[in-house]
Amino acid sequence: MKRFTALTLAGCTLLLTGCSESAVEVRDRMFIQSIGLHEDLQTELTLYPFEPAGFRIEASGSTIPAAMEEAAVKSGRSVFMGHTELLSFDDPSLITKLSDCMEDYRLSPACKLLYLHETELPEDCDTTLLTDQLRQEEENGRIPKTDLFHILSEGQSRDGAALIPALTEDGFTMSIVQGEKVLGTLSDRAVQGLCWLRGDNLPKHISVVGNEGVLDYEISSARTELSAEIRSGIPYVTVTVHLKGAGNAEAAGSMISVLCKAAELETVKQLKADVIGLETCLAKDCPDYLAQQDFETAKWAVEFEHVILAE
Amino acid sequence: MNRISSGQLTVALLLSNAFMLMCLSRPIGMESMAGAVLAFVLQAILCIPMLLLYRDGFSLPAYCDQKHFLIPILLILYFIIRGGISFLLLWNGSENLSLPFAQPLITAGMIGLVCLYTASLGLKTFARASTVVFGFLVFSLGILLLGAWTRIDFRLLYPSQDITVFRSTLDILSMGDTLPALFVLLSFTNGKKPAPTLRFLVLSLILWEIILFLCITVLGNLLPTAEYPFFLLTSVSQPLSTQRADAFYLIVFVLLCVIRLTLLTVLSAHLLGMLFPKLRFRSVLSLAGMIGAATVLGVLGYTGGLYCILGIVLFACLLPLIFLMQLKKHPEWKEETTS
């Protein structure tokens, strides 16, 4: 009897949870699929809810919270961003505010970021399609895999450089952001090279156009390892790519080397930005060198070597 | 008699330790993992006099029956202060875990009520409740691992420039305030005493190592910026895209807090009962003391530090050592004399 009473009371208590002042009914909550942020004199916010398709809310305010409040008033509902899939913005300074956004609005760490590089989203933009397109680019190893958490984490690295997907008039590419400024936007080759250097998501096949026509290599599995050693005071980073697959491995290996070189040149050498995990690699393999040497000098001095091991 | 099994003792102390781990707000690096091992080895060494004492048949209730007031009162004060610190950690942690509480005092009041109810049911019921919460903890650890799995980066396991193994050892040792609780709880435990002690230390070490490993390999560059690494880890560890796991972590956090506060309340109330058998509302007094301590410590801005090690060494090692040396002269402190 005691057990029955206890269970009944516990069950009744569960029923009371809806009586909490902070509880919000599902119909009174707007679940946001995508957010567009535009910084001008004010913060302009565009919210794209999951449904109905095509519906969006525009609001502005002196700060993001102020714009968010206005959006909630306009929609007549509480705004929930815990499941937001895409956050697009045209002002890199907004990146510095994203950490607070993740905390305040419970933005998902897996939320994708998209920097609008000299372009803007059309009024009738299908943001769900845009998110899916971005994911497809990543899944096919055409651009490196990133998300809010990745970007925030990279932004806290020693040089503060972070790799961000960017949308240009030609399609998706990658930009490097440092603090509140964009250091540069990368070429297609460098972007593909970064996929190999970072090793998070890799393409499923490599096609090399040569004298003998198009040589294909179907990749069944691949992984990248970065290791470093100091030789005559110079840090040498060896990029070892382990490849498994079928096709012309030699041509594929040469192509991977070319792509990696393009990425190293554009990021570490030209933009002086570490978005390949150079700091982690040096900290792990040459901690004394990194402790003694300024990281900027290390980036300037570093030499890369490529080893492609195909099975 | 109000006694618990050795398994229940293990679980109750493990949960209390888990709460401290959740509230960890110190710098973390690979050195912390080595520091955790050393800290738990040191805790095991500190327990040796205590275990020898109980092997020789020591009984804290029997000691209290001899009208010795000083040591039990010091222990009560220690538990009340640790309870106060736990309240403070809950308030601070609640800001990071988006607890839906309006005011800290209401939080303390509501959790205090739950603790009061649990404590009023006695040690045995509390021990059973601990077993259920342990299930929640294991399940939440599974969710955490599932969500964090894809983000683990082994390349981030490299020595840190700013953190030392020595400092990490001291930091983690200073959070091992469950040892004085173990000293009191062993008086109410059935069976052999070393087994639950070792089991509790080994399980706690495993839990610490898992969480530290995840914090280092998942949080990466964000780790130094995280005030509470565990809470940042939970916000990152979302295994499902359609359902956030925050609510579950929130439940586990509050449950662990309730278990820890109840443990401290039960122990101080028991000690009060041994000293003053006619005293009523002992649990209420203990909890009120903890909330009072939390208010004072909150004003002082103190939530723990290396000084805590002194308390741990005193109550978990030095006191048992003194008792051990005096036990031959005082056979009345042994369990047999009270029965």
Q: Do B158 and A277 touch (CB under 8 A)?
A: no
* Beta-sheet pairing, A171-178 with A181-185: antiparallel
Mutate to test the interface with B, among A14, A78, A85, A156 (most CBs of B within 10 A): A156
The reply to whether residue B100 touches residue A291, judged by beta carbons under 8 angstroms, is no
User: Which among A108, A153, A280 is the nearest to B238, CB-wise?
Assistant: A108
More confident residue, B97 or B62: B62
**A-chain residues within 8 Å CB-CB of B100?**
20, 22
DSSP for A234-300, please give it.
EEEEEEEEEEEEEE-HHHHHHHHHHHHHHHHIIIIIIS----SSHHHHHHHH-HHHHHHS-HHHHHH
How far apart, in whole angstroms, are the C-alpha atoms of residue A112 and residue A136? 12
pLDDT over 70 at A23, yes or no: no
Contacts of B35 (CB under 8 A, 6+ apart): B165, B166, B167, B168, B169, B170, B171, B172
| Whole-number pLDDT of residue A180 | 84
CATH architecture of A25-185: 2-Layer Sandwich (3.30)
pLDDT at A236: 96
- Given B158, B222, B241, which is nearest A156 (Cβ)? B222
* % of chain B at pLDDT higher than 90: 41
Measured between beta carbons, which residues in chain B are less than 8 angstroms from residue A281? 155
Specify whether the backbone of B57 is left (phi greater than 0), alpha (psi in -120 to 50) or beta. Answer: left
How far apart, in Å, do the first and last CA atoms of chain A sit?
Answer: 69
**Is residue A277 within 8 angstroms of chain B, CB to CB?**
yes
Confidence of residue A163 (pLDDT cuts 50, 70, 90): very high
- CATH homologous superfamily of A187-311 equals Nutrient germinant receptor protein C, domain 3 (3.30.300.210)
User: What is the average per-residue pLDDT within A124-135?
Assistant: 90
Residues of A in contact with B250 (CB under 8 A): none
- The Cβ of residue B218 has, within 10 Å, a number of other Cβ atoms equal to 26
Model ipTM over 0.85: no
**Residues in chain A closer than 8 A to B221 (CB atoms):** 153-157
- A131/B162: higher pLDDT: A131
- pLDDT confidence bin for A302, thresholds 50/70/90: very high
Report the pLDDT averaged over residues A111-140: 89
Q: 141-160 in A: which are within 8 Å (CB) of B?
A: 149, 152-157
Q: Using an 8 Å Cβ cutoff, are A67 and A118 in contact?
A: no
Contact residues for B152 (Cβ-Cβ < 8 A; gap 6+):
B214, B217, B218
Phi, psi of B206 (to 5 degrees): -60, -45
Closest to A199 in 3D by CA, of A239, A232, A171, A169: A239
Predicted local confidence at residue A258, as pLDDT: 94
- Chain B interface with A: residues with Cβ < 8 Å: 96, 98, 100, 151, 155-159, 161, 219-222, 224-225, 235-236, 238, 241-242, 244, 246
Residue of chain B whose Cα is closest to the Cα of A31 = B242
Q: Do you know the residue count of chain A?
A: 311
Task: Taking residues B252-275, report their average pLDDT.
Answer: 91
Taking the Cβ of residue A1 and every Cβ of chain B, the question of whether any pair is shorter than 8 Å is answered with no
**Beta partners for A65?**
none
Q: Could you give phi then psi for residue A181, rounded to 5 degrees?
A: -125, 155
CB contact under 8 A, B241 and A277: no
pLDDT-derived band at B1 (thresholds 50, 70, 90) equals very low
A10 alpha carbon, distance to own chain's centre: 44
Higher-confidence position of A16 and A152: A152
Q: How far is it, in rounded angstroms, from Cα A127 to Cα B42?
A: 56
Shortest CA gap A161–chain B (Å)? 12
CB contact under 8 A, A153 and B159: no
Whether pLDDT at B105 is above 70: no
pLDDT tens digit sequence for A254-282: 999 999 999 999 999 999 999 999 998 99
Residue A35: pLDDT over 80: yes
Cβ distance of B225 and A20 shorter than 8 Å: no
Beta bridge partners of B282: none
Locate the chain A residue with the closest alpha carbon to B153: A200
Residue of A nearest to B150 (CA): A200
Return the pLDDT at B338.
44
User: What is residue B14's predicted lDDT score, i.e. its pLDDT?
Assistant: 95
Q: Give the percent of chain B with pLDDT over 70.
A: 94
**Does the distance separating the beta carbons of A83 and B241 come in below 8 Å?**
yes
The first and second tokens of residue B83, run together, are: 């309870």
Chain A residues touching residue B157 (CB < 8 angstroms) = 284
Name, of A15-19, B137-141, B155-159, B277-281, the range with top average pLDDT.
B137-141
Query: What's residue B97's pLDDT?
Result: 63
Question: Among B161, B225, B238, whose Cβ lies nearest the Cβ of A110?
Answer: B238
Least confident of A141-150, A224-233, A253-262, B61-70: B61-70
Q: How far apart are CA A166 and CA A118, in angstroms?
A: 10
8 Å CB contact between B245 and B143: yes
Mean pLDDT of chain A: 87
Contacts of B224 in chain A (CB under 8 A): 156
Interface contact flag, A156 B224, Cβ < 8 Å: yes
- Predicted TM-score (pTM) of this structure: 0.83
Whether the predicted pLDDT of A6 surpasses 80: no
Query: What per-residue confidence (pLDDT) applies to A12?
Result: 66
Distance from CA of B241 to the nearest CA of A (A): 7
3-state helix, strand, coil in chain B (%, to 5): 75, 0, 20
pLDDT of amino acid A103 = 75
pLDDT score at B98: 60
Q: Would you list the DSSP string of B36-81?
A: HHHHHHHHHHHTHHHHHHHHTTB-HHHHHHTT--HHHHHHHHHHHH
Contact A83 B244 (CB under 8 A): yes
Are B128 and B259 contacting, i.e. CB atoms less than 8 angstroms apart? no
Residue at token pair 């594929």: A252
In chain B, what residues touch A284 (CB-CB under 8 Å)?
155, 157-158
Which whole number is the average pLDDT over B307-320?
A: 90
What the block records as the tokens of B122 is: 């006695």
On the question of pLDDT at B243 being above 90, the answer is no
Q: Residue B124 — pLDDT band, cuts 50, 70, 90?
A: confident
Q: Please report, for chain B, the start and end positions of each structural domain, with discontinuous segments joined by +.
A: 30-338
A20 touches chain B (CB under 8 A): yes
Phi-psi region of B188 (alpha: psi -120 to 50; beta: other; left: phi over 0): alpha
**Overall average pLDDT of the A14-26 stretch:** 59
What is the DSSP code string of B84-153? HHHHHHHHHHHHHTT---S-HHHHHHHHHHHHHHHHHT-HHHHHHHHHHHHHHHHHHHHHHHHHHGGG--
Mean pLDDT, residues B275-286 = 88
Q: Is A257:A189 a contact under the CB 8 Å cutoff?
A: no
Please report which confidence band the pLDDT of residue B241 belongs to, taking 50, 70 and 90 as the band edges: low
Topology agreement, domain A25-185 and domain A187-311: no
For chain A, the maximum distance between any two Cα atoms, rounded to a whole number of angstroms, is 87
| Amino acid, res. A277 | G
For residue B244, which residues of chain A lie inside 8 Å, CB to CB?
82-83, 106, 108
Phi, psi of B238, deg, nearest 5 = -120, 95
**Whether the predicted pLDDT of B154 surpasses 60:** yes
| Structure token digits, residue B296 | 């004072």
Structure tokens at A102: 């993740």
For residue range A203-259, what is the model confidence (pLDDT) as tens digits?
988 888 877 778 788 999 999 999 999 999 999 999 999 999 888 888 889 999 999
Q: What one-character-per-residue DSSP string does chain A give?
A: -HHHHHHHHHHHHHHGGGGSTT---GGGEEEEEEEEEEESSSEEEEEEESSSTT--EEEEESSHHHHHHHHHHHHTSEEE-TT--EEEES-GGGHHHHHHHHHHS---TT-EEEEE-S----TT--HHHHHHHHHHHHHTTSS----HHHHHHHHTSTT-EEEEEEEETTEEEEEEEETTEEEEE--HHHHHHHHHHH-SS--SEEEEEETTEEEEEEEEEEEEEEEEEEETTEEEEEEEEEEEEEE-HHHHHHHHHHHHHHHHIIIIIIS----SSHHHHHHHH-HHHHHHS-HHHHHHH-EEEEEEEE-
Write the single-letter amino acid at A73. Answer: V
**Inter-residue contact A87 to A70 (CB < 8 Å):** no
Does residue A302 belong to the interface with chain B, where contact is any CB pair within 8 Å?
A: no
How many residue pairs bridge chain A and chain B with CB atoms within 8 Å of each other? Answer: 53
* List of chain A residues whose C-beta atoms are within 8 Å of the C-beta of residue B246: 82, 106
B192 or B184: which carries more pLDDT confidence?
A: B184
pLDDT of residue B177: 87
Q: Which two tokens stand for residue A158?
A: 């020693």
**Whole-number Å distance between alpha carbons of A193 and B93:** 42
To the nearest whole percent, how much of chain A has pLDDT over 70? Answer: 92
Structure tokens given for B44: 């095991």
Q: From CA B70, how far away is CA B325, in angstroms rounded?
A: 18
